[in-house]
Amino acid sequence: MNIKLLVDGGAMKPGPALSQKLGPAGIPINKVIDQVNVSTQAFKGMQVPVDIVVDLKTKTFEVNVSSPPVSGLLKKEAGIQVGSGLQKKIKVGNLSIEQIISVAKSKMPNLLCNDLKTAVKTVIGSCVSLGILVENMNPVEVEKMVDEGKFDKEIKEEKTEVSADKKKQIKEFFENLKSAQDKQLKVEAEQKEAAAAAAAAAAPAATPAATTTAKVAEKVPAKPAKK
């Protein structure tokens, strides 16, 4: 029996779906959960595909862990929980080409790519939808640079280590960008509030005459219907 799950790395918890499948088979659920958590410890904070293979005859099980989705690996590299909901306007991270190569290497078997360069482009494409910059640039531009051979040396060497100086530069660039984004969002929020206040102030108020007429109408009893 195979049980396919998507679990929180290192933090799987008991659930009715698992209990219903393992309980009748006589498999200790706590042992399964402990093994899954040990096997996925390296992927904390990410959703991890897990395949639990159960031998019903011997009452034994095996836990097979697959690599998390590309999006999960990219979010881990960027140190974020979620991607941007406004990818074109708001950026949520900034990665180096070395980090992209690292993700591409780990996902090569699942990406169906013929070479690492193609895999790198695929990973960069995922950065677009998440709102993550690459090398301080829009990932669409970086894809073109990969096509032009600008990163052939790093890809050929399968370089995944980032120097301390480059890490600092990547981080500082994004911090400055985020500060500018936050200021712009604040300005836009203030403009929306001002527009709403102006609209409320411009809304037509009831005139005294209309108010008096309404009050008189309330006091005059309705005429009974003719029989």
pLDDT in tens, 157-175: 999 999 999 999 999 999 9
Distance between CA atoms of 97 and 133, rounded to whole angstroms? 10
Q: What is the pTM of this model?
A: 0.71
What tens-digit pLDDT sequence spans the chain (227 residues)? 888 888 888 888 887 778 887 878 788 888 889 998 998 887 877 788 888 898 888 888 888 888 788 998 999 999 998 999 888 889 999 999 999 999 999 888 778 888 999 999 999 999 999 999 999 999 999 999 999 999 999 999 999 999 999 999 999 999 999 999 999 999 999 999 999 988 888 887 555 555 555 555 555 555 555 54
Q: What are the structure tokens assigned to 111, written together?
A: 């990406």
* Chain centre distance of CA 26: 37
Q: In CATH, which superfamily holds the domain spanning 70-182?
A: Ribosomal protein L11/L12, C-terminal domain (1.10.10.250)
- The reply to whether CATH 3.30.559.10 applies to domain 2-65 is no
Distance between CA atoms of 117 and 128, rounded to whole angstroms? 17
Q: What are the structure tokens assigned to 90, written together?
A: 């708001």
Q: What are the structure tokens assigned to 105, written together?
A: 């290497």
Contacts of 129 (CB under 8 A, 6+ apart): 71, 83, 87
CA 149, 75, 80, 180 dihedral sign is positive
Domain boundaries, the chain: 2-65, 70-182
* Chain centre distance of CA 19: 29
Distance between CA atoms of 189 and 217, rounded to whole angstroms? 44
